[in-house]
Amino acid sequence: TGMRAQASADARRDASARTTRVQFRGRKRYAPSMFSPVVEVLASVALALPLHEAGHWLAARALGALRIEIERAGWLKASVRATFPDERPGRLALFFAAGPIAGAVAGALAFALGAPWFAGIQLLFALLMLVPVRGSDGARLLSLVVERR
């Protein structure tokens, strides 16, 4: 029975390592995590930039861009440039916000599917892109707001 108790304790510990605490209708429950945290973190880091830029590309297509260029400069730097028939601020704002929105949507879907680490990194990356520092989507959105005044 000693071996059986140890095996049972190991199984409980392994099961708790693969669970995530979630709030559901006012009660806290433990939902199983789909992947190990290491796999989620690696996948999220690898997919953060492509998902972000895919959001810009989809928005450019949906907003009627005349020309779309995808520029890649190394592993961690890429950009989507679009030429629109007119430079309406609303159209540009949607184009600039589409990258962070794509990351937030990917994060929400990942959380719903049981991948909380992936979700957290995607949401964090989306928020960081909205910080108004040089070259970020947040800086471009802020410049649109300042120009309108």
In order along its 149 residues, the chain shows pLDDT tens digits of: 555 656 555 555 555 455 555 555 555 554 555 567 788 788 888 888 888 989 999 999 999 989 988 887 766 678 888 888 888 888 999 999 999 999 999 999 989 888 888 889 999 999 999 999 988 899 999 998 888 76
What is the pTM for the complete model shown?
Answer: 0.71
Are the CB atoms for 79 and 136 separated by under 8 Å?
no
